[in-house]
Chains A and B, each alone.
Chain A
Amino acid sequence: MMEPTGTDYLGADSVTDVARMLMALVSEVWIMRDRQIVTEYLLETKGAVTREELDEFVPSGDLAAQITAERERFARLVAGAPIAAVRRSVPEILERAGLEAPEAAN
């Protein structure tokens, strides 16, 4: 067993606050991921993009659907991480990743 690393500065009561910090970070990562998808889209469709265009852009149609699917997969992987520790069948793992389980996986 590993040696204790020293004083437990936060203590068990702070677990929820650590989770709040984690979720704040998760939000920031998602905002960057969303911006990356929008940037790629605008570069592909217009060839160039300004910061203002990125700030003002509101996805619609197929792009909005694609971002929604990606956001839900992201939320599932983060908020479902504790579940992933115990629900570990191949179909469950594929479902969390947003993939359909092929017949052979069942």
Chain B
Amino acid sequence: MTFLTNLDDKTLKDGAVPTFALSQRGRAGMQLLGAVQKYSSGVLRPIAAENFAADKRGKALSAEHEAAAPGESARDRINAAREVCESDNVYRLERFIQRWVAEENFNRGIPAIEERREKFEAFNAAQGDTELLGTLDLSAQVALPKYYDRVEWHLEPGGWDGYDLYGALFAYGVGPYVFSHGGYAAVGVGDDITKQRANTIRQFPKESYGRIYEPGCGGVSTLKAVNSVFPEAELHGSDLSPLLLKNGQKMASRFGFPVHLKLADAAHDTGEADESYDGVITYALHHELPPKANREMFRELFRIMKPGADIVISDPPPFRAVSMFHAVILDWDTEHREEPFFSAVLHDSLDAMLEEAGFTNVESYAIGQDQYPWVTRAVKPATLAAEAA
């Protein structure tokens, strides 16, 4: 999940409050981060992959990885492959640049947006005067889970709620100038994350949906994509971050679509009625939860879905689905980009978790380069009794 990263696309509502730009210094500094990361992932990383493939031990590990039986642990292989990678200067340089950009998104980005605080607050005030669509319910007493509290996700100082202008930082800095080039975490170089979301929503099998729910909806980037594919659907979402939810409702209103957002720990209690949704979408969420919380969340989602409802998930691909070299790249995020559960989830199986929760017709596949987005989808049986028979 994240804040909305594109505030001014062509779907903006007529008469929407105009936004503003960073200063020359802010813009140029953020743009350089994007350019350096693009070079790193687009040029240095393929060279590092070639070097790995040419290494005798790397070759052997790749062969083992491809031949491994499903479910077999990849931990030892990834550790061994990392040693091979780390003996290569180009790999180390590429990883240093990835880390540096991840740090600088905030080290450079926070001052870039802070010097525009006055303009952002004016924009926010003008936005506040316009009609807010949908509903926002922050009334629930939600205890932050231990796995969530104090984690500075993606090196974000203070976590999701650590700085009041994070919404603006992602919308005006990190989103357009850094993320737009792809080439970080599981996102392939040159990939557009906005298009990836829309392509994921198209994996829903039916022509139309009545009510769709998204746990961990963040700043409504994914619900915006849902609205573009299923404009008739009533959209609901929840998150643990009040800041993300407040931003989310404002931004959805800016684009002219209503959302119903609620503060909730969806792994514990969504606060939604039994069998009340026709579809569930989750996007880049499960790698941010420990496997145990994911299992609890799937049980809760199963409860609120109507019989016959569909669930579509996009998350980084499991290690078993990617090359040996790419597994090392993905595994790196756990230790170096504040993603404490990234590897644990990629070693596990969302497919198995869904089946354990009672879902059927579980399937998973890639719809983009480097196996990302990796889509997992399933169905809540139309009648539980018929399924048992």
Q: Does B84 contact A (CB under 8 A)?
A: no
SS class, residues of chain B in contact with chain A: helix
Q: Which residues of A contact B89 (CB under 8 A)?
A: 82
The answer, among A16, A31, A72, for a CB contact under 8 Å with B28, is A31
Q: Are A72 and B25 in contact (CB under 8 A)?
A: no
| A1-34 interface bits toward B, Cβ cutoff 8 Å, 1 = contact, 0 = none | 0000000000000001001100100110011001
Q: Does B299 contact A (CB under 8 A)?
A: no
Nearest-CB residue, chain B, relative to A76:
B39
Q: Are A72 and B32 in contact (CB under 8 A)?
A: no
Q: Does A79 contact B (CB under 8 A)?
A: yes
Q: Does B90 contact A (CB under 8 A)?
A: yes
Q: Are B36 and A58 in contact (CB under 8 A)?
A: no
- In the assembled complex, the CB of B335 is this many whole angstroms from the nearest CB of chain A, namely 15
Given known pairs A20-B100, A38-B24, the reply for A82 and B32 (CB within 8 Å) is no
Q: How far is the CA of A56 from the CA of B27 in the complex (A)?
A: 10
Chain A CB within 10 Å — which of B89, B100, B108 has the most? Answer: B100
Q: Which residues of B contact A71 (CB under 8 A)?
A: 31-32, 35
Q: Are A16 and B96 in contact (CB under 8 A)?
A: yes
Q: Are A31 and B32 in contact (CB under 8 A)?
A: yes
Q: Does A62 contact B (CB under 8 A)?
A: no
Nearest-CB residue, chain A, relative to B21:
A58
Q: How far is the CA of A57 from the CA of B27 in the complex (A)?
A: 10
| B45-66 interface bits toward A, Cβ cutoff 8 Å, 1 = contact, 0 = none | 0010000000000000000000
Q: Which of B257-299 contact A (CB under 8 A)?
A: none
- In the assembled complex, the CB of B29 is this many whole angstroms from the nearest CB of chain A, namely 5
Q: Which residues of B contact A31 (CB under 8 A)?
A: 24-25, 28-29, 32
Q: Does A44 contact B (CB under 8 A)?
A: no
Nearest-CB residue, chain A, relative to B31:
A71
The answer, among B25, B100, B104, for a CB contact under 8 Å with A55, is B25
Q: Does A78 contact B (CB under 8 A)?
A: yes
Q: Does B235 contact A (CB under 8 A)?
A: no
Q: Which residues of B contact A23 (CB under 8 A)?
A: 36, 100, 104
| A54-73 interface bits toward B, Cβ cutoff 8 Å, 1 = contact, 0 = none | 11111000000000100110
Q: Are B29 and A27 in contact (CB under 8 A)?
A: yes
Nearest-CB residue, chain A, relative to B103:
A20
Q: How far is the CA of A19 from the CA of B101 in the complex (A)?
A: 12
Q: Which of A80-106 contact B (CB under 8 A)?
A: 80, 82-83
Q: Are A79 and B44 in contact (CB under 8 A)?
A: yes
The total of Cβ contacts below 8 Å across the A-B interface reads 73
- In the assembled complex, the CB of B102 is this many whole angstroms from the nearest CB of chain A, namely 12
Q: Are B32 and A27 in contact (CB under 8 A)?
A: yes
Q: Does B93 contact A (CB under 8 A)?
A: yes
Q: How far is the CA of A30 from the CA of B39 in the complex (A)?
A: 15
| B191-218 interface bits toward A, Cβ cutoff 8 Å, 1 = contact, 0 = none | 0000000000000000000000000000
Chain B CB within 10 Å — which of A20, A35, A75 has the most? Answer: A75
Nearest-CB residue, chain B, relative to A19:
B96
Q: Which residues of A contact B36 (CB under 8 A)?
A: 23, 26, 75, 78-79
**27 pairs across A/B with beta carbons < 8 Å?**
A19-B96, A20-B100, A26-B32, A27-B29, A27-B108, A30-B28, A30-B29, A31-B24, A34-B27, A54-B24, A55-B23, A56-B24, A58-B27, A68-B35, A72-B39, A75-B32, A75-B35, A75-B36, A75-B38, A75-B39, A76-B39, A76-B43, A79-B36, A79-B39, A80-B39, A80-B44, A83-B90
Query: Which residues of A pack against B, CB within 8 Å?
Result: 16, 19-20, 23, 26-27, 30-31, 34-35, 38, 54-58, 68, 71-72, 74-76, 78-80, 82-83
Query: Which residues of B pack against A, CB within 8 Å?
Result: 21, 23-25, 27-29, 31-33, 35-36, 38-40, 43-44, 47, 89-90, 93, 96-97, 100, 104, 108
Q: Which 7 A-B pairs have the closest CB atoms?
A: A34-B28, A75-B35, A31-B28, A30-B32, A58-B21, A75-B39, A71-B35
16 further contact pairs, Cβ within 8 A, besides A68-B35, A79-B93, A83-B43: A16-B96, A19-B96, A27-B108, A31-B24, A31-B25, A31-B29, A35-B25, A38-B24, A55-B23, A55-B24, A74-B32, A75-B35, A79-B97, A82-B89, A82-B90, A83-B44
